[in-house]
Structure formats: C-alpha cells, structure tokens
Amino acid sequence: MARKVVGFGEGDLRALAGTRSFERGLGYLDAVSGLEVGEGSVTAVVHGTDVYEVELTLDGDEGVSGWCDCPHGQEGNFCKHCVAVGLTVLRRAKTIPHQRATARARGSGLEAWLSALSRDELQGLLREHIAEDRELRRRLELRAAAARSDLGTVRDRIIALIDPRPFARYGYIEYADASGYARQVAEAASALRALTADGQAVQAVGLAEESIRVLGEAYGEIDDSDGVVGEAAAAVAEAHLEACGVARPDSARLAEWLVGTVLDDSNDVTDLDPLDYADSLGPSGLARMRQLAVEALRRRPSGWAERYLTERLIKAEGDVDALVALHAQDLDPFGATHLLIAEELESAGRGDEALAWAERGLWECAAERYIDGRLVDYVCVRYVKTGRAADAVAVRRDRFRLERSLAAYRQLRSAARAVDCWEVERAAALATLEEDARCEHGCRYGGPVLIDALLDDGDVDAAWGEASFRADDRQRERLADLSRETRPAEALGVYLRLVERSKEPTGDRAYEHLAQLLLGARDCHRALGTEEVFGVYLAGLRTELKRRRKLMSILDRHSL
C-alpha cells in the first residue's frame, strides 16, 4: 500500500543507498524533524554530526531521488540522512495524499493571492522581504544595477559576494561556514554570466579576473574539506572563459594574465587550463604565452608549474624539436627522461632518432646499477623488431653484470633463448653469481642470487649443492617444497629446523606459516614411510603450544 501512495518502498531506498548507508539510516529515524510535503517533493531536517537539509523528489511510478547537504550527499550519494527521511515518509504514507493535496491548495492559494495584489501591494511585500533577507537584497541590487548598466554597483556587489571576511570569524573560514561562502561565490559567477549575456562581456572579463585574484588570496584560509568553494570558484573561472569568448580581449594581455595566474603559487583555488582559451588567444596569444612560460622557466628552472606549462604549450603547438630541447635541459640520471624523449620522437614518426636517444640513455646511465627498466625494454624491443636480437642480448648481458639480480638474470635468459645462445650465456652468468656468493655469503635481501637463479631454472640439484652452506631460510624452504618427494630426508630436516624457529612468533600469519611447514614435514614422513614418527612429534608440539588457542584452531583446520 505504501508503495502505491508514495511511489517507492524500503527496497528502493536500500538499492539507492546501499546496505551500509541504509542500515545507518535506520539509526537516524528519531533525528528527522520539520518534515514538509510538497506536491512532488519532501523536505526535512536531520540532526546528525551537524544539522543537514534533505530533499526527496517523488516521481510517482519512476521512484525517488534525494539530495542532502552533508559531505556524502554533496558527492551525489543517496546518504543515510536521505534514507532516514525516506523511511519517515513511508511510516506516514497514509497521510501523504492529504498533505500533497494541501500543498497544491497552498500553492494555488498563494498564486491567486499574488495575482490579486496591486502593483503597490506587490512592491510593498517585496520591500518587506528585502528588509528581512540580506541575501535577497544583494541579489536584487545586483540585478537592478545590471539592468541599468550601473557597472560600479555591479562591481561592488560582485566583490562583496566574493569577500570572505564576513565568514571569517577567527581570521579564517571554518568548515561549517564554507558552504555559505560557496553559495555567495556561485551567485557571483551567475552574475558574471548575466553580465556577458547582457552585452557587458568586457566588464565581465575584468570582474572575473579580480574575483579569481581575491579567491586565490583567500583560499588558503578556508577549510574547504568538501570542495564546495573550489566548485564555486571553478564556476567563476568558467564565467571568465565564457566572457573572453564573447569579448575577445587583447590576446597579449590575456596571455600575460593567464601565465601569471597559473604560475602564482598563492592561487590554488582555480585549476585554469590556458589551452581552453586557445580560440580567444589566437596564434599570436598562444605564441606570447609560450614565450612567457619559457622566460619563467629560465628564471626558475626547478619550478614544476613553469616546466609543466611550458611543456603543455609546446605540445599543443606540435613542436617536437622544442619539446626534445626542453626535456634535454634536465636529463634524469636513471634514463627516464631519455625514454620520454624517445617516445615523443617515435610518436612523431621519427623512429631512428627515437632509438638514438634511447641508446644515448643507456650509454649515459651505463655506470648506474639501477636504471629505468622501461628504457632497457624499449631498446631491446626495437633491436628485436629490426633484426638485431644479438644486440638485445648484449644489452641484457651488460645490465645483468651490473645489477646481479634475479630479474636481470631472467631478462638475459629470455633474450638469449630467442637467439639460441642461452647455454653459453647461462654458464657465464652463473659464474658471475658464484663469484658474488663466495665474496658476499648472501645478498642485501637474503641468500645469494645464485640459488634463486638455479631454482628459477629448475636446477634443484645444483641449488641443493649451493644451499648447504649459503642459503637463507626463504631459499631453504623453497628447496624443501620442491623436494618433498625426490629428497624427502633433506627436505624434512629443513622443515623441522624452520618449525623450531617459528615457535616464537605469534599472530595469524605466523601461525599459518607454521601450519604450512608442518604440512610439508608430514608429506616428507609419508614419503619416508614414517608417519607414526610425525604423529608423535606433532602431539608433542601441540602439547607444548596448547595455550595458543588460535594456533590450535588453525592446526585443526589443516587436520594437523
């Protein structure tokens, strides 16, 4: 019955909000107040962390939609407050038709009453509300000034709307006041667009630029956690773009303003994209903007904003040589910039130059143990595509000799197999890793890379030969896992030693690891035909660690 009356049910609310928000909304039923039913909507107030205004739009058979000024609701979500209001409506479903009829009657009565008023009476009523509502007064003053082309008053009204001081009670705008300030900024944006529409685009350009400056100076002192001021400021920027499209201001002056605004460290409120103004700037304005960006980068070579702007402008013009020159001024020591240049050249159809830059990167970074792997991949892929697979092997060999890592070993193996020379390359690579193992007795992150390489090749017997006096626990466990059936006695010895070391650590992960070690040990005993011995060992271990209930539970789950 409720669905027929109000056009939705609890299932619709759950579907809109999701289970989590729906369940939370149940806890706010007693926090709903001021429920007001209109002809096609319902409004209410919900008292939560703050006091939130909620509006549900009822569309008959098409369902329900909701809006709330809480942070979650302002992101476009059907929040828990909307759920609470929706559930309240469902609880009062029987009264909804009467309330809607009453709302229609009120609306019709108001319309009839206003229509019957004389001009003097309407003006008196409006003056009464203007005296009581400051925001209404300012909006109407702005409209009146625009209608009579009183640009001085229009400017004063817009700047008053942008002025943050009335909201900055303690020298900054708190979170609770940000939405109120954002509404005023949005109103200023609307006024700027109205100016443009009324043939005052030139004035709108100047006022928008002044507004953006004020917003930029104030934004650092605003708690805009929900981004509402930023959204309103974006509307001001859009109004400026729109006005420029109509007014066609001097392209050089516009270019100077855009570059100055984008590079202004204090202006974080608007995310202006100068290329959006390409039509207004024209070729001469774009050229002037690029000149200014290059000069700014020359003054501050380390400036991220200067470099980013210059790069975007050069890309927009399609000047690949200028882009290469820009990147070449600050080459990364690990080859990332060389790769970037190579990719730009290749995109421009200049493949030979692209490969030359990538090769230069390998040469200039040759002494670095760590180099951008994408650059090495780039060179090797292109060598293979052009029939130079042997050169790709040489590159992989050089990188392996410098890095001495398992990853470099794998890459060398892949390249060498492609030209059927892995046997020779493998012998040399293993000799290098053998030398490392003798000198270091391990590596920075554990046992020797030699053992990992042998395991990766599937040479388990050779890995056992090295592991007897060089491997770390990780490598020994890996060997044991691979040898439960072929070398059960040796694997069992590894598992039992690791179990003893794993008794002390606690926590789910440690207990799960201990269980896996025991499972490995059990498999070894089965292969040896000594399962009874394992049973006695396991019983003793459970007795020793019986106070660790979580461990006992995990062992039970694994049937241990």
Residue pair 89/6 in contact (Cβ under 8 Å)? The answer is yes
**Which residue among 84, 116, 148 closes a domain?**
116
Please tell me the distance from the alpha carbon of residue 236 to that of residue 226, in angstroms, as a whole number: 18
Cα–Cα nearest to 205, from 218, 193, 216, 214 = 193
Q: What angle do CA 31, 36, 39 make, to 5 degrees?
A: 145
Residues 229 and 154 in one domain: yes
Residues 140 and 108 in one domain: no
Looking up tokens 């200014």, which residue turns up?
292
Give the model's pLDDT for residue 62.
Answer: 61
Residue pair 552/510 in contact (Cβ under 8 Å)? The answer is no
Element (H, E) at 319: none
The domain tally of the chain equals 4
The runs of H, that is alpha helices, within 117-250 are 119-132, 134-147, 151-162, 175-197, 201-219, 228-247
For the chain, 560 residues long, give each residue's pLDDT as a single digit of tens: 344 456 788 888 999 899 889 999 998 999 999 888 887 788 999 988 788 899 988 765 567 888 888 878 877 789 999 999 999 988 888 887 888 788 788 878 888 888 888 888 888 888 888 888 777 777 777 777 766 667 788 888 888 888 888 888 788 888 888 888 898 899 889 889 888 888 889 999 999 999 999 888 888 888 888 888 888 999 999 999 999 999 999 999 999 999 998 888 777 767 788 899 999 999 999 999 999 999 999 999 888 889 989 988 998 888 999 999 999 988 989 999 999 999 999 999 999 999 999 999 999 988 888 889 999 999 999 999 999 999 999 999 999 999 899 999 999 999 999 999 999 999 999 999 998 888 764 444 567 899 999 999 999 999 998 887 778 899 999 999 999 999 999 999 999 999 999 988 888 899 999 999 999 999 999 999 999 999 999 999 999 999 989 999 999 999 99
Residues 13 and 107 in one domain: yes
Amino acid at 497: R
Residue 518 in any domain: the answer is yes
Residues 112 and 141 in one domain: no
Residue 18 in any domain: the answer is yes
Other CB atoms within a 10 A radius of the CB of residue 216 amount to: 18
Residue pair 554/511 in contact (Cβ under 8 Å)? The answer is yes
**Which residue among 116, 142, 171 closes a domain?**
116
Give the model's pLDDT for residue 441.
Answer: 47
Whether this model's pTM surpasses 0.75: no
Residue 402 in any domain: the answer is yes
Residues 530 and 444 in one domain: no
Residue 268 in any domain: the answer is no
Residue 535 in any domain: the answer is yes
Residues 421 and 490 in one domain: no
Token pair in block for residue 30 = 């007693």
Residues 494 and 461 in one domain: no
Helix 336-347 × helix 373-385 angle, to 10°: 40
Give the model's pLDDT for residue 427.
Answer: 94
Q: Give the alpha-carbon dihedral of 151, 153, 156, 158, to 10 degrees.
A: -70
Cα–Cα nearest to 29, from 72, 82, 65 = 82
Residue 331 in any domain: the answer is no
Element (H, E) at 439: helix 422-440
Element (H, E) at 365: none
Residues 446 and 507 in one domain: no
Give the model's pLDDT for residue 391.
Answer: 95
CA 173 centroid distance within chain: 26
**Which residue among 194, 226, 249 closes a domain?**
249
Residue 279 in any domain: the answer is no
Residues 110 and 177 in one domain: no
Residues 430 and 501 in one domain: no
Give the range of the structural domain holding residue 86, as residue numbers without chain letter.
2-116
Residue 60 in any domain: the answer is yes
Q: In a 3-state reduction of DSSP, which class is residue 230?
A: helix
Residues 496 and 555 in one domain: yes
Residues 11 and 107 in one domain: yes
